[in-house]
Structure 1
Amino acid sequence: MKQQIVIVKGRLRMRELTIADVKAAVRGGAVFASGGGGWVDHGLEIGGAAVGIGRPKLVSVDELPDDAIIITTTAIGAPAGTEWEMWGVDYIKAVQLLMDHYDGKVVGVMTPQNGMSSTINGWLPAAALGLVVVDATGDIRAHPTGKMGSMGLASRTDYETIQVVVGGRRDTGSYLELVVKGTPAKTSNILRTASDMSGGFIASARHPLPASFIKEHAAIGGISIALNLGYAMLEAESQGPEAIMEAVRRETQGRYIGRGQVLKKDVHYSGAFDIGTITMEDGSGNELTLHVMNEYMAVDQAGQRLTTYPDVITTFEVATGLPVSVGGVKEGMEIALFAIDKQHVPLSSSVKDPSVYPEVEQVLGISLAEYGLKGI
């Protein structure tokens, strides 16, 4: 039987998160991962630990007073990296260190994005430290830079944030703990460097903010949207791969824009980012170029732009009907390319901030802002 997150009078009713929710969050989050957003196994492991040690509660931000402090919990790095090591205790310690360095009471945690594991980023520290999980995201889909999930803080010089990272390879001496204070833009760059030094992926906590700010600037309902999509996908699994992909289309108002073999994958790791392109057949004798910076940021066909961040852009392995990450895409694999237009998802202040685009545009050598900012 299909499960859904219950909304009462326009807001979420507080509820305990279960192992069934973990599975749904990972499955639905994988669509919004847009080729990045972590790993399925990691999400199931950390989410399972969360509901195993406590009873994390998912709440609407409207259920919290305006002055309740919420922090963002996440992981920073490149999903295709292989040298990282990140334990559940690293997520907990990152949150604890921020709380130790913040002059106030933290009430809840939220994630900057959905993803294969990032949808459940805050569940473990919430369970361990007695916090609530807030049903909001810094961006409904996964993105490559911390600035893109900072809810419009990236260009602000009047806000001093606290950012923490914890993790790394213990056996190589790459384990790090770092607490930095400063503007969001400068501290985000420091954290990216720390992630690279630690092996390519690291746990993080950042941006203590009042609920009033989250209500105005976050993508509200981002977690329940991923959960409901995940439950629809799980219900369709018994009917086969095509049924799963159709369930995604039906639930999200998205569209499939290509289907065929992967012709070429040219993606490399650099500075805690996976950067490059993937070329695939579109099913009509033409080629599609997928631009990658950790996640799929744009798709071109013969010089024409088909979809661009903040649209959700996802690849599905046709054989399984499940989302496949950039790291999992292989040459010769048959994939389906899927997109959800930005008008069909809640948008945070992050994607409306022109300052978050130039860094990614420079790396990829393509325009994003003129498409991403149009009409929002």
Structure 2
Amino acid sequence: MEVLKMIINSTDIQKIAAGSLILGGGGGGNVQEGLDTAAKALQMGQVEILPASDISNKDGVVLTISGVGSPASENAFYADDVYEKILHFMQTQLEQNIIGFIPCEMGGSSSFEPFIPAALLNLPVINSACDGRAHPFGIMGSLGLEKGENHTIQAGAGGRKEDNTYIEILTMGTIEATSDLIRNTASKAGGAIAVARNPISLTWLEEAGATGAYDLAYQLGEAYLSGSTPADSLNKISPLVDGTILCRGIVREYTLHTENALDNGHFTVSTDGSDYKMYFFNEYMALERDGTRLHTFPDLLLTVDAADGRILSTAEIENGREVIVFAAPKEKMILGKGLRYRSTYRRIEEILKIDMQKYISDIFLD
């Protein structure tokens, strides 16, 4: 079955949602919000996923649509009408037509962020993403635009007017500067905003993007939903990503800090005489067993509720909860170019106080 070329229906949404939640790796947004977004998009119009090769107008630009913010924030909110506003902001600055949309990353809500803009403008969602798994920083989903003399445009909106947190922003400049402003805006808006950003050509997307990201999400979701127990569901997805169930145990010493709309912290899963320590920065960043590093982002790390099989975000972890920990190597992820530069990992290392770069040096372009 060729998944990458399809008009989306409600069954497809369920499979993409489950697979995207897996690829969220502890982040990627709230899956119910993603399902709601997808349902609203289908009420507005048709949503079609197409490969880049099927886009007839090769001269236009592709926009990234994403939500930016903290998974743990209780005040995060943006209404559906913000999509029209941010698209309008972008169109006032663009010399070329918009020809399609992609998500910044694959995740429970982030995979569906392009759906409403696609339905509103009757344009396709392209079967690609800035990154085929979720990541913490906007710059990691910038397709390598941060290198060289590239400047970009980003538009965002979110918050609640009734409590005076609503805010809109249109910013132009370097990827780093505009991404920092967007992140700051999300914090001011109560935790999250919707963003349209980084107009690029199809050629750039094909060279730097995560081609086939929706394929993998669909296949993972279909496999996971076919399982009869939490462990069986994980075993179903294992062949697709060379994954392994690492342990089943009780969460202890959970810590969470939120700063500038980003969550960070760590916790331990105790089992069979071993302690598995997991570090997160929105998404899971590293796992150690009894002090020995086993996995480092962009390896995929996943926590599943051992009782009901619910895939848990880092913000949903709590002490005393029994979880199953699953891991898959980065070689089986569809990584965008934005993850392949050392500088994007330094801030995470500083805040979490762990080494990352030395464990993943084989992916770097610099």
Bin for the TM-score computed over the shorter chain: over 0.9
Are the aligned partners of 2:154 and 2:171 in contact in 1 as well (CA < 8 Å)? yes
Is residue 2:26 matched to residue 1:17?
A: no
Contact 2:99 2:124 in 1 (8 A): yes
Distance 1:241 1:339 in 2: 14
Q: Which residue of 1 aligns with 2:136?
A: 144
Between Structure 1 and Structure 2, how many residues are aligned? 363
Q: Aligned letter for 1:47?
A: A
Aligned with 2:295 (options 295, 302, 307): 307
**Does 2:281 align with 1:289?**
no
Task: For 2:71 and 2:15, locate their aligned partners in 1 and report how far apart those are by CA, in whole Å.
Answer: 20
Deviation at 1:259, TM superposition (A): 1.6
Measure how far apart 1:375 and its partner are: 5.1
Deviation, 1:229, is 1.1
Q: CA deviation at 1:66?
A: 4.4
Match of 1:246 among 214, 217, 235: 235
**Structure 2 equivalent of residue 60 of structure 1:** 51
TM-superposition CA deviations, 1:245-270 (whole Å, max 9, x none)? 22122332211222201012101211
Find the partner of 1:27 among 15, 18, 37: 18
Report if aligned partners of 2:234, 2:245 keep a CA contact under 8 Å in 1: no
- Give, in angstroms, the shift of residue 310 of structure 1: 1.0
- Output one character per residue of 1:189-238: Cα deviation in whole Å (capped at 9) or x when no partner: 010000000001110010000000000001110112101211222233xx
Residue segments in structure 1 that go unaligned for 5+ positions in a row: none
Distance 1:247 1:261, change over 3 A: same
Q: Which residue of 2 aligns with 1:113?
A: 105
In the superposition, the TM-score normalised over structure 1's length comes to: 0.93
Corresponding position: 1:321 with 2:309: yes
Residue 103 of structure 1 and its aligned partner are, at CA, apart by 1.6
Cα 1:143–1:375 change in 2 (3 A) is closer
> What is the Cα deviation at residue 174 of structure 1?
0.7
Tell me the percent identity: 29
Q: How large is the RMSD of aligned CA atoms in angstroms?
A: 1.5
Aligned partner letter, 2:94: Y
- Provide Cα deviations, 1:331-361, integer angstroms capped at 9, x if missing partner: 1111111111011122221121222111222
Give the superposition deviation at 1:91. Answer: 3.0
Q: Give the CA deviation at 1:372.
A: 2.5
Task: Report the equivalent of 2:264.
Answer: 275
List alignment gaps of at least 5 residues for structure 2.
Answer: none
Structure 1 pair 373–180 and aligned structure 2 pair: CA distance change class (3 A): same
